[in-house]
Amino acid sequence: MDVSRHIQVVSDEGLLLVRAAEAAGLGAKVPTCPDWEVRDLVRHTGMVHRWATAFMAERRTEFRLGGGLPELDGAELLDWFREGHAALVDTLTGTPPDAECWTFLPAPSPLAFWARRQAHETTVHRTDAESACGDTVSPIDAEFAVDGIEELLLGMHSREKSRVRAEEPRVLRVRATDAPAERTWTVRLSEGPPVTERGATAAADCEVSGQAARLYLALWNRLPFPEVSGDPALAALWRERSAIVMR
């Protein structure tokens, strides 16, 4: 997927998120994030949007923590989210491809990194907001879901901070059954960070599979795995230890 497509996703998903938050009510519980109410979700995502925007807009080349969460509530909180989301989209759109700033995953450029990262950040949290409405979650395109699975497996969980570890070497297979061509990933688990390879490169102890969009959300712990075969303890290990937290 190219940068322009990721930017469009950021724009579309942010609008869906705030629409769902308004419909659910800021005091509604978020079933996919049981410790949160919708206001917590809006504050968190709005803070991340501003955090990402600052790296690009100010050309920050070193890591900095995100800003604090606002004490705003009600209509003021929703307006704050909308302002930050619009600023993120404008910044992504206006940042030159050769601009330099801090990132935390390999990418063709910092702009490509931030567009992709915020597209998936916003999409996952949009599904959280919609879960609070009790309505059917808006669809996720299979190609975009595959892109998100790759970012998660080959990027986020390749880092030293991943807690998905196994005392003895094990192999988890991830299979998307409805991508344009069936896609598989082999995740090698050990006492170190997971190592993911494209394709079925080793015999698997456990396989999780399903349509790409459902598998994407399951790997982000928003849905149960559609299908699990082999040793279910590996699927359970993923669910227990794969949560991503801000650096």
Mean pLDDT of 151-166: 97
Residues of the chain with CATH 1.20.120: 3-133
* CATH dotted code for 144-241: 3.30.1050.10
CB of 119 closer than 8 Å to CB of 10: yes
The pLDDT, as a whole number, for residue 137 is: 86
Mean pLDDT in the chain?
96
Q: Which residue has the tokens 């892109």?
A: 147
pTM above threshold 0.85 = yes
Residue 246's pLDDT band, with cuts at 50, 70 and 90, is low
The C-alpha atoms of residue 14 and residue 41 are separated, in whole angstroms, by: 12
- CATH domain 3-133 topology: Four Helix Bundle (Hemerythrin (Met), subunit A) (1.20.120)
Query: Exposed (0-12), middle (13-18) or buried (19+): which is 213, by Cβ within 10 Å?
Result: buried
The C-alpha atoms of residue 210 and residue 225 are separated, in whole angstroms, by: 8
The pLDDT, as a whole number, for residue 247 is: 52
- What are the residue ranges of helices labelled H in 25-135? 38-57, 74-94, 110-133
The pLDDT, as a whole number, for residue 165 is: 97
Query: What kind and span of H or E run contains 219?
Result: helix 212-219
Residue partners of 42: CB distance under 8 A and separation at least 6: 17, 18, 21, 26, 77, 78, 81, 129
Residues of the chain with CATH 3.30.1050.10: 144-241
Residue-wise pLDDT for 51-61, tens only, equals 999 999 999 99
